[in-house]
Amino acid sequence: MKYGMRWAGVLLLLALAVPAGAQNEVVKTRLTNKEYHAVYTPSFSIDGAHKPVRNVILMIGDGMGLAHASAGMYMNQGALTLTNLKTIGLVRTQSASHFTTDSAASGTAYATGKKTRNGAIGVDKEGKVLENITEKLSEKGFATGVLTTDNMDGATPASFYAHQPERGMSDEIWSDLPDCKLTFFGGGSRELMEKKGVEKRLEKAGFTLVESVADRNAATAARLGVLPPAAKTASVNENRGDFLPVTTAFALDYLSKRSDKGFFLMVEGARIDKSAHNNDFKGVVGEVLDFDQAVEAAIRFAEKDGHTLVIISADHETGALSLGNGHIADGKLTGNFSTKGHTSIMVPLYAYGPWSDLFTGVQENSDVSNKIYELLTKGK
């Protein structure tokens, strides 16, 4: 009887992991990948060292569960820079209103250290403004930045600068951008910015606006907004190019020269989630591989700097992805999606740098934000 009850509980938990109404027939995809990238293994000389943290790079693979990261690893000859890291934890993602979160609520938890309801951007359950980490750190003299492959009004990037009751309030979210405290932002798109009519306000706020970090004015700008054409933040399936890893490397160098206090940068690989929503296994793998190259840029910077902590996690899992048979040497793998929605499955967290050991074990998404803020402001 006891065993029967235990199995009943397990089956109930498995059922709860997929949101009601989101179940559908399993979508099975067999994929072959022949495009690999070299991975980086740091020395680990600074990993877990208990010394001051000057900079933090928070990297969010939107929708990236353990299966998504595993798929990228297996399809890249069995290795990623991400999976070369040794310090690993787990993150619980429930929101204040739903067992299964959305990106707005989880993004706000990562940005403010407070849980909120699904749909809310930078406000609590009652709609009261929650001060986010970029605002709090800017007040203390830190440089801050947000970089995404989504549009700048996407739920995750918006959570780090905007305050609106609903994630769908695109006009209002864009209107918050010129009033933000960010030193740097990058994401889609030039066309959308022009449509929303905020270009002059951004320039009045002191932002130099460019389409690419290769622009000759980018490196010397006091405040910088990188708004490429929409095609540069589209899916990797649409030949996006290297916008994310290249802009990540630039942003780290740029922000490191903007404040004596240090910096905070959030980098989002947004289209892992969008591919998983479409049950597009090829897209998921391609986006994870692209995100991993941005991770490499961050780890290399941290290794050289010595006082930079890198945190890589996700806002939630998307697709209830599982992996079947494969062959690493031949670049073959089978992926199975059982939903097109989010799930409540815990997501992995990888950390590298000083105090990385603070992020092991199971923690809430809001805990991650609070730990980051405490480390950056300790003694300052």
Please answer whether residues 354 and 307 qualify as being in contact, where contact means their C-beta atoms are separated by less than 8 angstroms: yes
CATH code where residue 33 lies: 3.40.720.10
**pLDDT given for residue 291 in this prediction:** 98
* Residues with Cβ within 8 Å of residue 176, at least 6 apart in sequence: 158, 161, 162, 163, 164
Mean pLDDT within 244-263: 98
Tell me which residue of 310, 348, 299, 358 sits closest to 43, measured CA to CA.
299
**pLDDT given for residue 375 in this prediction:** 98
* Number of domains, the chain: 1
**pLDDT given for residue 25 in this prediction:** 80
Single-letter residue type at 281:
F
Phi, psi of 23 (to 5 degrees): -65, 145
**pLDDT given for residue 11 in this prediction:** 36
Please answer whether residues 184 and 209 qualify as being in contact, where contact means their C-beta atoms are separated by less than 8 angstroms: no
Mean pLDDT within 61-86: 98
pLDDT tens readout for residues 94-141: 999 999 999 999 999 999 999 999 999 999 999 999 999 999 999 999
Percentage of the chain lying above the pLDDT 70 cut: 93
Identify the domain containing residue 109 by its residue range.
2-377
Does 16 score more than 50 pLDDT?
no
Alpha carbons 124 and 108: distance in angstroms, whole number: 9
Tell me which residue of 82, 31, 9 sits closest to 337, measured CA to CA.
31
